Amino acid sequence: MRTRTGPKGGERSDHHPALRGARVLRDAGPAHRSQRARRARRDLPDAPADLCRVVQGLVVHPFLAHLYGLEPTALRHDELEIRAAAAMLDRMLALDSRPLDEPRPPERRFVGNCRHFTVLLCALLRARGVPARARCGFGAYFDPPRFEDHWVCEVWDEARGSWRMVDAQLDARQREALRISFDPLDVPRAQFLVAGDAWQRCRSGREDPQRFGILDLRGLWFVRGNLVRDLAARAKRELLPWDGWGLMVKREESDASELALLDRVAELTQSGEERHAELLDLQDSEPGLRVPRVIVSFNLGGAKIDLGPGVAN
């Protein structure tokens, strides 16, 4: 079995059968590369647990800012619109130029949501040669029995030979406030439903679609949007939770042909790496799924956003 040497000399297997097609997930992608960011992250630790602590010391979630003594009016909400990990790191260093592994005081942390925590952790892991991918779906641990719009990171566990989910957002304060009973470094799949799982549960009648969403935005149309986002994330196009394109720009019910297409997406996004090429082909070939260069921002009143080169299909 051929191995590669890891960032600090350790050997790493490249040929576990479940990882066929996944080696690309070690590359940060064109949207996440920056010379300044690369220099800043060079001396960071390797272990996912340590990198989670780094991320938690850099980012604060606006919905939970009160846990850190911050008033909503003190938050820089414009930072929520930053998509690329490299741009996030550049802003973090502009706010506080110390090494990234030194926790910032809450008022000097980057203002980001679960997607920012996740994408930043993914980028740091990939930079260390660890396969990682962002997953869009729903968390069961914020407002049970509801399933809240959420993102986590899937990390390849070499010892298990499988992916495990890591919630980089859940630091000690949040675990206490939310009464989290599981290990955030190994989130049970019943506690976080990837969007494909949520879609299948709703389609089969096992779950009520009105339990899925955020705030007053709920229903099967919301699950559909996260399913399209999760597919894009599997193709390493990790856009913002309120970015819209294709099938997610409407709230009307899907017709039979769309439902069949989305059923296939739900299946593929939960399949093994042997179907990863099929997943990428579907995401690239279907107009309702493909990420265009110009998308709309629901957070900015439907404004059109040009993603620039290197992100769109």
**At 48, is the secondary structure helix, strand, or coil?**
helix
Q: Which helix (H) or strand (E) holds 151?
A: strand 147-157
| CA of residue 16 relative to chain centroid, distance | 24
- How confident is the model at residue 37, as a pLDDT? 67
Q: What is the pairing mode between strands 110-111 and 147-157? A: unpaired
- How confident is the model at residue 9, as a pLDDT? 36
DSSP string, 178-233: HT--S-TTS--TTTEEEHHHHHHHHHHTSS-GGGEEETTEESHHHHHHHHHHHHHH
**Which two tokens mark 224?**
């559909």
Would you give per-residue pLDDT tens digits along the chain (313 residues)? 333 333 333 333 343 444 544 444 544 444 444 676 677 677 798 999 999 999 999 999 999 999 999 998 889 999 999 999 999 999 999 999 999 999 999 999 999 999 999 999 999 999 999 999 999 999 999 999 999 999 999 999 999 999 999 999 999 999 999 999 999 999 999 999 999 999 999 999 999 999 999 999 999 999 999 999 999 999 999 999 999 999 999 889 999 999 999 999 999 999 999 999 999 999 999 999 999 999 999 999 999 999 998 887 7
Residues linked to residue 295 through DSSP beta bridges, in sequence order = 305
**Angle, helix 114-127 to helix 85-95, in steps of 10 degrees:** 100
Would you say the C-alpha torsion 225, 230, 231, 233 has a positive or negative sign?
positive
Q: Which helix (H) or strand (E) holds 3?
A: strand 3-5
Pick from 234, 283, 276: nearest CA to 122:
234
CA distances from 70 to 59, 105, 107, 199, 311 (A): 13, 11, 7, 36, 33
CA distances from 126 to 11, 129, 130 (A): 16, 5, 5
**At 33, is the secondary structure helix, strand, or coil?**
coil
- How confident is the model at residue 139, as a pLDDT? 98
**Which two tokens mark 58?**
């850099």
**At 297, is the secondary structure helix, strand, or coil?**
strand
For the entire predicted model, the pTM comes to 0.88
CA atoms within 13 A on the CB side of 302: 3
CA atoms within 13 A on the CB side of 103: 11
Pick from 123, 122, 110, 99: nearest CA to 34:
123
CA distances from 289 to 18, 108, 313 (A): 25, 37, 10
How many C-beta atoms lie closer than 10 Å to residue 58's C-beta?
26
In the block, residue with structure tokens 């989290």: 180
CA atoms within 13 A on the CB side of 64: 19
Q: Is 245 exposed, middle or buried (0-12, 13-18, 19+ CB in 10 A)?
A: buried
